[in-house]
Every structure is written in structure tokens, then in C-alpha cells.
Structure 1
Amino acid sequence: MQPPNERPNRRASSLATRLFVSATAWVVVILLITGVVLSSVYRSASERAFDRRLNLYLRTLVADVATPDEPPDKQMQSLGEPLFELPLSGWYWQVTRNDGEKPDVKSSRSLWDKKLPNLEEHGNELTAAGIRIGYVDGPEGQSLRMVERPVDLGADGKYLVMVAGDASEIFEETRAFDYYLGGTFAALSVVLVLTTIFQVRFGLAPLKRISDAIADIRSGRAERLEGEFPVEIAPLARETNALIDANREIVERARTHVGNLAHAIKTPLSVIVNEASSRGGDPLAAKVLEQAEVMRDQVAHHLERARIAARLTIIGTVTEVAPAIEALRRTMEKIHRDRGVVIDVEADTSAKFRGERQDLEEMAGNLVDNACKWAESRVFIEVLVERAGNAGMRSGVEAGPLLRIIVDDDGRGLSPAERAQVSRRGQRLDESKPGSGLGLSIVVDLAALYGGNLTLGSAPIGGLRAELVLPGV
């Protein structure tokens, strides 16, 4: 048996966890995709801005190349960028006339004695504007963003005009953008995760209320789902209450049918017994009386099982164990007063049985009655509560709070074979003792109906130990 709150709450928390993980995963995926797209867009924008700057210098150089009549001291001097004068600055221009036997190369002072690589040789194709754009390695290993344009002036010659800039500007700007973007998205992720946690917990709060209320019904603290629920959850609460009402109605009908059947069978049996009793010396009458008693015992036993099985379907029945055991002790001491048997009880006052009191009294009463019949002078009853999950696995009962009722006597005890025999219906070891032999079998059957069990062993005080394990609260 599971604890009243554990399983529903675990299911609710599992749903909350799944929703939270799913929402968080989607948030992370969306932010990652958005971050990659924004970084790519910003890098493209930075490259376009850089390319516009390079193209401005390129058009200026092309204009200078196209005006060969310009005095030599004025040519290539109109770029207005000091970095072209600084050696190996990362900003370079180069004009190559390649229609002669030996190319004539003019370059910026920043190139010093170096030359720029050719984009055509790197596989870059001409764009619709008639230029090539790409990244190349510079003279000092710098990464350069370069633009080049072939210029054909006819009789005035063919030129290749190239302008290159330090691409680290693009990379640094993109890196700075990525850094700030990552920080912003990290903060946004935290806010979104916290918002998701709040929404999941707030959204599932009504379900948790329902699970707690159902746990209260199972443990006997409530009979119905009470309170106001959101419109989306209210139908679930109504149907649950309707199911509980229908269950009670079915159980009540079953009880009525069991009572009617008991009355219908007992009356013919009583007639048979009376008729047979009136023929005292007839062997047939004696046999009829014997079998009628067997039938009466069997009918009582199975009707009791049917009654218990019907009652077990009622939700929320809980019995205090200590008062029931104490009342049972007083009753048994009166019944066995002539034998002088002392009954000691040590019961956990917090022990509760998940079932009806009369069923607990019937099971415990059979065990105590048997112990008193076989005891020499003493019977000891101990009631324990085990709340550990492993206890259920050790006893064979479903994990959860367990109620253990241990009845020891100081009689002669039983061998393993005798223990197996007395657990079978109608089996008695000593015909001199009163009873029908159904006591322990009834206990075994009723305990099984509640998901519990009965084990027999040796008692520390010398006789038989009967240990009854039942679902607790």
C-alpha cells in the first residue's frame, strides 16, 4: 500500500518536472537559434559596412588609374587614409599594370616591399559589379578583407586595382556583439526559466490540490473533493465526486444482496438441522447434521469474505488500532479467565489500520483466541508501525506504511509442517480444543483481501508467534 500523499504528489511533481524541462528546452533552443541568426546577421552587416569603405577607396584608385594625365605627384594621393602610409598597418592598396612583359606594380607605403595576393588565384569570382571580394592572408599573417577590380583602359593598358583592410575590425566587432548578445540572452534565459517555473507551479496548483484531496479521501480524512476549482479542472472534480458516490451506491447494493443471500440460505439450513435433530438415533440424521454444520461454516465463511470484499471498495475507512486491541484484550481475559492466562499489550498509539474496525477485530481476535487456547500462562500482543519503503518489500505488501500485529504465546509451539497445516481451512491439530478449524484460514483470507499476510514462527517466550501484516496509514 502506498502512502496517501506520496503517489499522487509524485505524479503531479513528475508532470510539473516534464513541463518545466520541456519549456526550458524550448526556451534554450529558441534562444540559441535566435543568437546564431542575430550573430550571423550582424557579421554580414559588419562585412557590408567594411566593404562599402573598401569600395570607396577602390573607386578612388580606379578614378586615379583612369586619369593618367594627372601629375605623378598627385596620383594615388587622394585616399585620405593615414593607415595606408603606416608600414604593415593592415591597410593596403596595390595597382598592377599587367599588359606588358613585366607587370608594373604601384602600392601603398604601408605594404613596404610586400605584395598582395590575387583573389582570382584564390578562386573568387567576379560579382555583378565587376569586382572580387574575399578574405586573404596579409603580409604579416593578418587576415585581410580585400576587394579587387580589373580595369581595361584599352590602349592605355590593363590594370588590376586592389584594396585591403584589416579584417580584425570585423572579427572584433562581431566578437563584442556576440559577448553582449550572450550576456543579454543569459539574463533573458534566467528570467524566462523563472517565469516558466512560476507558470508551471501556478498552472498545476489546482491539480496538486486535487491530488492532495484524493489522498485525504483515501486516508479517511475527507469524503469528497471540496472547494472551488478553475473552469478547466472543475469537470474532473465533479466526475471524481460522482465516481465516489457511484462506488458507495454499488457497495451498499452489494451489502444488501449479501444480507439477503445469508438470510435465504440460513433459513433452509436451520430447517434441515431441526429435522435431523428430531431423529437422534438415525445414522442418516447424524450424517445430515454433520454435513449441515460443515455447510453452515462454509456459508458463513464465504459470506463473510463477500461482505469484506464489498466493504474494501469503500474509500477512506481508517481504524485506530490501540483501542481495538485493548478492548480485545479485556474480552479475551474474561473468556479465558478459568485458565488464568495473562495478556500483555504493547501498542503504538499512532497505529492506524486502513480498513474497518470489525475486520481488524475479527483477524486479531482469531489470533489472540488461538494463542489463549494454547498458552500455558501468558500471551503477549505487540503492535508496530513501519514507515520505511523497504518494509513493504520485506513483507510482500506493497511499499508504504505497514501495520504489524504480533501475537506470541508460551505454549508448546508448532513445527513447520504443523504451521502449514493449521493455515488450511478446517484443519485442526487437537480435536479436544473448541473451534471449527476455520480461524486461521479466515485471518489469511481477510489479510490477503487487504493486501496483507500472516506468517507463523517461533515466539521468544517459547510458543507460537503469529505476525499479521496489514496496510497502515
Structure 2
Amino acid sequence: MRRNSLATRLFFSATAWVVVILTITGFVLSSVYKNATERAFDRRLNLYLRTLIAEVATPDEPPDRQFQSLGEPLFELPLSGWYWQITRTDSQKADVRASRSLWDKKLPKLADRGVDLTAAGIRLAYVDGPEGQSLRMVERPVDLGADGKFLVSVAGDASEIFDETRSFDYYLGGTFITLGIVLLLTTIFQVRFGLAPLNRISESIANIRSGKAERLEGEFPVEIAPLARETNALIDANREIVERARTHVGNLAHAIKTPLSVIVNEASAHAADPFAHKVLEQTDLMRDQVAHHLERARIAARVTIVGTVTEVAPAIEALTRTMEKIHRDRGVDIEVKADPNAKFRGERQDLEEMAGNLVDNACKWASSRVLIDVTVERPPEPGTGPRLRIVVDDDGRGLSAAERAKVSRRGQRLDESKPGSGLGLSIVVDLAALYGGSLSLGNAPIGGLRAELVLPGI
């Protein structure tokens, strides 16, 4: 839908940005938290590592009291996931001391796996433990000079890091989902509230086009107020142009008709002269042409006015009463079935001129009955307005297809005995076309001619 297209685009754009920003922020925070957890875990490993190095550097302690200062019971539990290992590297014979938790197994050497020393002189990496555990391991080579060279290693169960990180991710995801929902609801509110003035302007313009209002009324935010002012100025300028056009049309009509009247008067004074007769004949044609095109110009100017609406039922009823008086001697019965809510998007005098020509023509040719049916139909396609349909049937002799085509042309009459100039139906066709409507002729169900006029409605 047109009105929600901007709101929809804004909503989806804001939603996309919220999702992208929260996702990126979530990844960053998760990474930061994981790094912080690893650093805390590494500090713990380094503490045990320094303690072991101190024990190795003071070999005078009795064997039963060595490595008791670690203070971690998990080093005593078999395969607990926490292990230490001291390997002498300057001896041909392997000399390895390890925590009870290793249970006769060994920790891998990070040096053999290509892990480089850090600036602090240690190696850090994740390795697989004795029972397939994921371990975070730190090792450091120690050179005690004459006392030997050693490789001291400490490993801890990395599931602590993973569990902490996973718990943080769960809490972070829940928090961000809640925050995202709140932000989206806030965005919806802001979009609806922020676009409300635009929706009000759209509705006001629709009311102007339908004739329910003449200008944009009410207070608008400072961002929208210039649009409202310019729209009202455009409407005023349109009306001013139309009024100026009407004035010019009237002036042109007087300017042309006066010389024509002089020519007619002079020619009438010499009516016996064949040349004067020809002049009179051509001036009649000129008058018809002038009247016809001035009428088109007048109507075209009126059609450009925004917001003109006519109630159809009252106009048709008034027209019916007039036609009944005009054709009283012929005893024609005029039946009207009009939708009381039908409205014509145009001026009343144009509606009366079009419908009047059709009803008058039907009354002239009807034997006894004329039926008028007025309905409003739904828009034929999206983006268009309702259609007003006026159907006039008579029970006269009707017309053939060739005759129907002929009478729609300007000045064409099938029966010279009937009064009229032959301009009626052509005027209806021109008027309807100027309003974006149409006139079609066909066979009436009651036996005569059907004239079907389609115009813009409401």
C-alpha cells in the first residue's frame, strides 16, 4: 500500500540496522569476554608454574614435602584435568616428575608442536589431555646452571573457559534479544508517530480531491509545515489560473460574437443576394464552432479545479421534474432509480448538461417510458476512484449500430422533424471525455435506445 511504503521501508531499514549492530556487538563482547576469561585462567596457570619453578630451584626440600605449596587438591585426583609435569632436558635418561592426577600418563611438549615462546619466555596453547579433555597448557624451559635444565608444564581443564564463555553468551543473547525487541517496538512507535503528520497530509489531500475539504487545515510540525504551505499555495494558484482562464474565455466569446453579429446583420439586410445567403450560412457554422470550442474551453477550465463534488440524486430528480413538464403533452412516464449516496466528481451544471441531453433525447424518441438508473461502482483497478454510471433507457424504435455511430458525431441528426441542433450527444461525448469518462449507446431491455454514461464518482 502506498501509505505504508515509506513506513515499511523505514521499519525494515531500522530492523536491519538493529540486527546488524546487535550481532556485531554480540560477537565483539563475546570475544572480549572469552579473552578476559583466558587471561584469568592463564594467570592461574602461571601462578602454579612459578610455584613449581620455585620448588625446582630449591631441591633441598625433603621429597615428601616438595610441591606441597601448590594448594590445589585437583593435582592429587587421578585424571582430574589439572596436571603438572617437570621434565629434565639435559640428561640422557628421561627424568620426569608429575602430579598424581596424570596417573602414569604424560603431557605433550608444546615445543615439539611448533608453539613459539612468548616475550615472557613461556608457551601457551590448547592441547588434548589424557582422557581426551581439552586442556589449556603453559610450559616454560628453566635453566638452573649446574643443577640442570628443566621443562616445567602446567595444564588445566579448558572446559572452565568454555563453560564460562557459553554461559556469558547465553546471558548476552537473551539480553540482546530483549533489547532488540524493545528497540524495534520503539522504532515502530517512532515511525508511526513521526509519519503521522504525513499520513494526515495524505488524508487531507484525498479529502480535497474528493471535495470534502478545500485546503490543508491544522497544525503541522516545523519539518512538514512548509509542505503544507506550498500545497495550499499550489491549490490557490490553481484556482486563480482557472478563474483567469474563465475570464479570458468570456472575453474571447464577446470579442468573437460581436463581429459575427455585425456580419449577420449586414448579410440579413441583403438576404436576396446569393453572396449574402452564403455569408449567413457560413456565419451560422462559425457560431456553432465558436460556441462548441468555447464550451470545451470553459469546461476544461472547470475540470482542473480540485475538490468539486456534486450530489447526483438531487440533480437527476430536479432534471426529471423539468423533463416531465417539457414533455407533458407526449405522456412520457419517467422512472428514476438513483443511489442516494452517488456523487459526481465535477460541477453540477456539467452533470445536468450531460444527463439533460440524454434524458431529453430519450423523451423525444420514447413511446411511453424512460428509465433512469444511477449507480456507483467500485474502482475498476487499483489506484483509481469509483465510477458513476448513469443509464438512460427508452422504449422507442432504437437505433442500428450505424445510426448510433452517426448520431455521436457533432451536428448529425437522423430526423429533421425532431427539434434540436444535432449537437446534444456530441457535447455529452466531449464533456464526458474531459472528465475522463465515456458515453456508449446500445439496445435497451425495454425495446429502445440505451445511453450509458460513465463518469468519475466518489
Matched, 1:449 2:434: yes
Supply the distance in 1 between the matched residues of 2:269 and 2:371 (Cα, whole angstroms).
45
Three-state SS of the structure 2 residue aligned to 1:147 is: strand
Matched, 1:92 2:50: no
1:417 corresponds to: 402
2:419 corresponds to: 434
Three-state SS of the structure 1 residue aligned to 2:10 is: helix
Opposite residue 90 of structure 2, the aligned amino acid is D
1:320 to 265, 288, 311: 311
2:169 corresponds to: 178
Matched, 1:49 2:18: no
Of 34-43 and 456-465, deviating more is: 456-465
Opposite residue 324 of structure 1, the aligned amino acid is A
8 Å CA contact 1:392, 1:402 repeated in 2:
no
Where do 5+ consecutive residues of structure 2 fail to align? none
1:152 corresponds to: 143
1:405 corresponds to: 390
Task: For residue 219 of structure 1, report the CA deviation from its aligned partner.
Answer: 1.8
2:370 corresponds to: 379
After TM superposition, the structure 1 = structure 2 runs for residues 58-207 of structure 1, keeping only pairs within 5 Å, are 58-207=49-198
Opposite residue 415 of structure 1, the aligned amino acid is S
1:239 corresponds to: 230
Opposite residue 113 of structure 1, the aligned amino acid is D
8 Å CA contact 1:31, 1:185 repeated in 2:
yes
Of 246-255 and 203-212, deviating more is: 203-212
Of 450-459 and 411-420, deviating more is: 411-420
Which of structure 1's runs of 4+ aligned residues deviate more than 4 A?
Answer: none
Supply the distance in 2 between the matched residues of 1:422 and 1:377 (Cα, whole angstroms).
22
Which protein, 1 or 2, shows the higher relative CO under an 8 Å CA cutoff with sep ≥ 6? 1
Matched, 1:303 2:288: no
**Does the C-alpha gap of structure 1 residues 280 and 338 become closer, same or farther in structure 2, counting only changes over 3 Å?**
farther
Q: What is the alpha-carbon root mean square deviation over aligned residues?
A: 1.9
Opposite residue 426 of structure 1, the aligned amino acid is G
Of 296-305 and 275-284, deviating more is: 275-284
Supply the distance in 2 between the matched residues of 1:119 and 1:378 (Cα, whole angstroms).
110
1:260 to 242, 248, 251: 251
Task: For residue 175 of structure 1, report the CA deviation from its aligned partner.
Answer: 1.0
Supply the distance in 1 between the matched residues of 2:324 and 2:170 (Cα, whole angstroms).
85
TM-score computed with the length of structure 1 as normaliser: 0.91
8 Å CA contact 1:248, 1:314 repeated in 2:
yes
Supply the distance in 2 between the matched residues of 1:137 and 1:420 (Cα, whole angstroms).
97
TM-score computed with the length of structure 2 as normaliser: 0.94
Three-state SS of the structure 2 residue aligned to 1:408 is: strand
Opposite residue 105 of structure 1, the aligned amino acid is V
Opposite residue 238 of structure 2, the aligned amino acid is N
1:225 corresponds to: 216
Three-state SS of the structure 2 residue aligned to 1:145 is: strand
Paired residues, number:
458
Matched, 1:13 2:4: yes
Task: For residue 102 of structure 1, report the CA deviation from its aligned partner.
Answer: 4.1
Task: For residue 392 of structure 1, report the CA deviation from its aligned partner.
Answer: 4.5
Matched, 1:215 2:206: yes
Opposite residue 425 of structure 1, the aligned amino acid is R
CA deviations over 1:28-51 (Å, ceiling 9, x no partner):
222222111111111111111011
Three-state SS of the structure 2 residue aligned to 1:442 is: helix
**Does the C-alpha gap of structure 1 residues 357 and 157 become closer, same or farther in structure 2, counting only changes over 3 Å?**
same
Opposite residue 408 of structure 2, the aligned amino acid is S
Opposite residue 213 of structure 2, the aligned amino acid is A
Supply the distance in 2 between the matched residues of 1:363 and 1:55 (Cα, whole angstroms).
100
Supply the distance in 2 between the matched residues of 1:31 and 1:333 (Cα, whole angstroms).
77
Three-state SS of the structure 2 residue aligned to 1:121 is: helix
Where do 5+ consecutive residues of structure 1 fail to align? 1-9
Task: For residue 125 of structure 1, report the CA deviation from its aligned partner.
Answer: 1.5
